């Protein structure tokens, strides 16, 4: 059993999207869950994961593929949304660990999709909006996007932006920068 509070899950989701509003009958749904695990005792990113999710109520648009790199064909073999939520709990202790994301989009998207698909919410209620915490800690009047925050912190953007696994890893670096300066809210 892991020590309570030792690990933090940093989550970034990618979802089906369109250049404008969704086509009739389609809704935005999660296609990738990126996860970076932070050891809060050693202040290290200790694991990174990617869960691909096959969309059931929408199609992957050309715009979505350009943004995320994911094609409909690549996602066909993905988990169901229910399966992804179960895996988050079973393998990544999502119901026990605190979690964080850049902004509230990821939290709200999980809440919406869990409600719409009658899937139990996989996370513990302790969520931190890293974007808000980063702005507060740095005294910024405007909330930066993740890539802007990395540049502001003089940290490299690792991997591909708008790829969940890579974005979660990069957000993890920003969380660590806050922890190292004593500005992380427990």
**What is the full DSSP assignment across 40-69?**
TTTTEEEEEEEEEB--SSS---HHHHHHH-
Q: Which domains does the chain have, with CATH numbers?
A: 7-180 (3.30.420.10)
- Note the pLDDT of residue 47: 98
Cβ atoms of residues 134 and 44 within 8 Å: no
- Note the pLDDT of residue 14: 98
Q: What is the 3-state secondary structure (H, E, C) of 102-152?
A: CCCHHHHHHHHHHHHHCCCCCCCCCEEEHHHHHHHHHCCCCCCCHHHHHHH
CA–CA distance, 94 with 98 (Å, rounded to integer) = 8
Scan for tokens 């969309």, then name that residue: 55
Cβ atoms of residues 6 and 158 within 8 Å: no
Could you read off the pLDDT tens digit of each residue along the chain, which spans 186 residues? 677 789 999 999 999 999 999 999 999 999 999 999 999 999 999 999 999 999 999 999 999 999 999 999 999 999 999 999 999 999 999 999 999 999 999 999 999 999 999 999 999 889 999 999 999 999 999 999 999 999 999 999 999 999 999 999 999 999 999 999 999 986
CA–CA distance, 165 with 156 (Å, rounded to integer) = 15
- Note the pLDDT of residue 5: 85
């Amino acid at each position: 059993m892991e020590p309570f509070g030792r690990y933090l899950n940093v989550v970034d989701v990618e979802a089906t999207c369109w250049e404008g509003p969704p086509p009739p009958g389609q809704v935005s749904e999660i296609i990738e869950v990126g996860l970076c695990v932070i050891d809060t005792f050693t202040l290290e990113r200790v694991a990174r994961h990617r869960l691909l999710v096959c969309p059931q109520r929408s199609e992957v648009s050309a715009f979505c593929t350009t943004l995320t790199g994911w094609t409909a064909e690549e996602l066909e073999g993905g988990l169901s949304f229910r399966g992804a939520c179960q895996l988050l709990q079973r393998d990544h202790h999502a119901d026990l660990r605190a979690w964080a994301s850049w902004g509230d989009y990821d939290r709200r998207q999980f809440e919406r999709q869990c409600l719409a698909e009658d899937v139990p919410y996989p996370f513990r209620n302790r969520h931190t909006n890293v974007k808000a915490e980063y702005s507060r800690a740095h005294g910024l009047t405007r909330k930066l996007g993740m890539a802007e925050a990395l540049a502001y912190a003089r940290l490299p953007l690792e991997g591909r932006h708008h790829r969940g696994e890579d974005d979660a890893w990069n957000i993890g670096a920003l969380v660590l920068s806050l922890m190292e300066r004593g500005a992380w809210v427990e």
